[in-house]
Amino acid sequence: MDWLFAQPLDSVIFSNRIILIVVATAVASAALSALAMVTVGGGKYAALGCFAIPISFLGGYVMFLGVPDFPSADPLHLLPYIVLVGLIVGIVIDTFSHIESTRLAVVLGWPAVVVVTIGILEMPNFATIAGLPMAVLWLSAVLTNLWLGLEHRFQTTPVVSLFVITIGLGLLAFIGGSKILTILSGILAAAYLGFFALNWPMPRFAFLAVGNLGAAGAVLALAVAQALFTATQPLPLAVLLLVLPMPLIAGRLPFGAGPKAGPMVLLLVSIIPVAAAAAIALHLKGSFF
């Protein structure tokens, strides 16, 4: 890992090694999505197709940081295990149960598991002001899961929104000077992009338990790590949540209601809160305005 910390942030991010990892993650996600189309696409188990996102992200993580230690006191070492557990639990739910029968556990329980696991080092301070960010993160994750469970105009809406939020997390991590979280956000965004490429304009995979626990769980884990262990301020992170209501606006715009152009319109509209969050982060850092 010496190479990572011996170079400036921008040199690391745009190095051939990192670019190769990001591209390989996107290609792997697209390939896994294509495999899912052949095996489970359109059938009873179509929701399992979302496994392409967490699996390709885990592959990118290993290419970047190697197989992490377990158990570990480093929250970034715990991150891939959280994603893996979320994926496995999601597969079990989507295969043998129905997400409605497990809605409470998915909406309330899984965010608590992620927040507590990533923030385990903060637990001794939970009774003090240090516990407030963890409670706020849990509530934000619950609201996000409730949003994921809504009936969206397009099945691709959660994928587009979570992709944009991941890009926003990477941008805030870059502004805050966190090399590892910047790159991990880029790897996860690549996983979402590869999946979207095979799931648009014809949606093939429902975003149910595998999507909520595995794919969205990876976004949550990155957000929790960034909120608790970096210099990123809470306000820009909170502004990123404004990406979630953007489908309401996008659907009222020209072409926003079309199945082909709608996701693209949503993507463009969702950039607005990301840009606002970045501007706020730069202002708080003292390098803007």
Contacts of 248 (CB under 8 A, 6+ apart): none
Span 82-90, mean pLDDT? Answer: 93
Enter the pTM of the model: 0.89
Distance CA 62, CA 115 (A): 22
Cα distance from N-terminal residue to C-terminal residue, the chain: 35
Residue range 142-187, pLDDT digits in tens: 888 777 766 555 577 888 999 999 999 999 999 988 889 999 999 9
Residue range 36-61, pLDDT digits in tens: 888 776 666 777 888 999 999 999 99
Residue range 106-130, pLDDT digits in tens: 788 888 888 888 877 655 544 444 5
Distance CA 140, CA 90 (A): 20
Return the C-alpha torsion angle 232, 141, 50, 260, nearest 10: -80
Radius of gyration of the chain (CA): 18
